[in-house]
């Protein structure tokens, strides 16, 4: 894929999410600069345009868009693009395809600080996964990947039945970084249906609710000593 059509897709997706012209211009300029310097194909460097745009939009700060404003400047755009590329690399290293070939269609990220040590955060999330009948897929000292729900159950019962909605297949990754007060926690959750656009379009609403509930539960679990079930 050539650079211009890909960047236009990103621009359209950012605009649809209410990102201002100044921010879009800065983000696209940073992406174009990277592509010209590296010679990479855009999907190889950033993943699907829609997914990358969604993640960028979700991390934008609030503040003044004018040059020199407190909330936004060109270095901030560069930092955001690089952060999302680094997340892609971390996901790939853990064996999770972060959206290439069009999947996952829907994902969400969140960050917070925990007073627990990194190992304790991962122990807490591991216990949370087991309590909710999930499966731990990979774990090392820097993070873990786990799944919840059931593809089979969801395909049998579907989005219109409570049983199906309660078994939405979700994959999530937790990355931990130690800090002076405990741990910086970054969680990425994504649908794990493994199928096409129809399934995504029907399940978007339930996934939005499920992602919000999961992120809240993980945040509560890793900022308290007791897991609420």
Is the residue at 215 inside a domain?
yes
> Which of 4-13, 51-60, 99-108, 148-157 comes out lowest in average pLDDT?
99-108
128 and 44 part of one domain: no
Model confidence at 63, in pLDDT bands (50, 70, 90)?
low
Taking 60 as the threshold, does the pLDDT of residue 75 lie above it?
A: yes
45 and 89 part of one domain: yes
Q: Which residue has the higher pLDDT, 222 or 61?
A: 222
What is the pLDDT, as a whole number, of residue 203? 53
73 and 121 part of one domain: no
**pTM for the predicted model, two decimal places:** 0.52
Domain boundary among 77, 98, 119: 98
The answer to whether the CB of 91 falls within 8 A of the CB of 159 is: no
Q: How far is CA 184 from CA 31, 70, 143, 228, in A?
A: 26, 23, 11, 21
Is the residue at 228 inside a domain?
no
Is the residue at 10 inside a domain?
yes
What is the pLDDT, as a whole number, of residue 86? 81
What is the pLDDT, as a whole number, of residue 66? 47
68 and 176 part of one domain: no
Domain enclosing residue 29, as ranges: 3-98
How many structural domains compose the chain?
2
């Amino acid at each position: 894929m050539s650079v211009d059509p890909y960047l236009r897709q990103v621009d359209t997706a950012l605009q649809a999410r209410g990102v201002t012209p100044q921010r879009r211009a800065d983000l696209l300029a940073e992406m174009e600069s990277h592509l010209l310097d590296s010679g990479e194909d855009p999907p190889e460097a950033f993943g699907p345009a829609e997914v990358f745009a969604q993640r960028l939009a979700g991390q934008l700060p609030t503040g003044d868009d004018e040059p020199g404003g407190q909330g936004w400047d060109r270095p901030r755009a560069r930092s955001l693009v690089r952060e999302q590329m680094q997340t892609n690399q971390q996901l790939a290293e853990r064996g999770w395809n972060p959206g290439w070939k069009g999947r996952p269609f829907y994902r969400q990220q969140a960050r917070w600080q925990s007073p627990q040590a990194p190992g304790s955060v991962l122990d807490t999330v591991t216990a949370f996964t087991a309590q909710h009948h999930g499966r731990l897929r990979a774990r090392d000292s820097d993070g873990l990947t786990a799944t919840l729900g059931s593809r089979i159950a969801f395909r049998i019962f579907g989005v219109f039945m409570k049983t199906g909605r309660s078994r939405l297949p979700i994959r999530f990754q937790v990355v931990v970084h130690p800090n002076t007060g405990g741990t910086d926690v970054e969680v990425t959750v994504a649908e794990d249906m493994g199928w096409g656009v129809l399934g995504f379009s029907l399940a978007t609403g339930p996934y939005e609710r499920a992602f919000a509930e999961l992120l809240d539960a993980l945040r509560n679990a890793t900022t308290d000593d007791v897991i609420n079930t």
